[in-house]
Amino acid sequence: MGQKMILKSVIGEPAEVIDRAMNSARVSPRITSRIGEVSSRNFQLNQIGNRKDTLVFRVSLKGERADAALKLWMVKRPSGEWNIVKSDTLFLN
């Protein structure tokens, strides 16, 4: 079973947006120029309070030279589509 299928079964609708964000972060020149090739990644999903339309998603990337921690804020639009509205990246040596 692929990662996308696992995400979809665990968290439902926002899985596709999260999968795209993790894949693009893994190959982002801005990130890989600082941490090197990514050897592993991990994620954590938090719901803000009891709101079903807001999520905070954290991605940890381990690289050859350093690590990166990404935090993404997602909201569900009235159309039902999930969008990333804010992101922050912290590089760790």
Domain of residue 44, CATH code: 3.10.450
Q: Where are the beta strands (DSSP E) in the chain?
A: 38-47, 54-63, 67-76, 82-92
Rounded to two decimals, what is the model's pTM? Answer: 0.78
Q: Which amino acid is at 40?
A: S
From CA 56, how far away is CA 46, in angstroms rounded? 5
pLDDT value of residue 3: 60
Query: Domain count of the chain?
Result: 1
Q: Quote the domain boundaries for residue 46.
A: 3-92
Angle formed at CA 86 by CA 10 and CA 89, multiple of 5 degrees: 90
pLDDT value of residue 46: 78
- For residues 9-33, give the mean pLDDT: 83
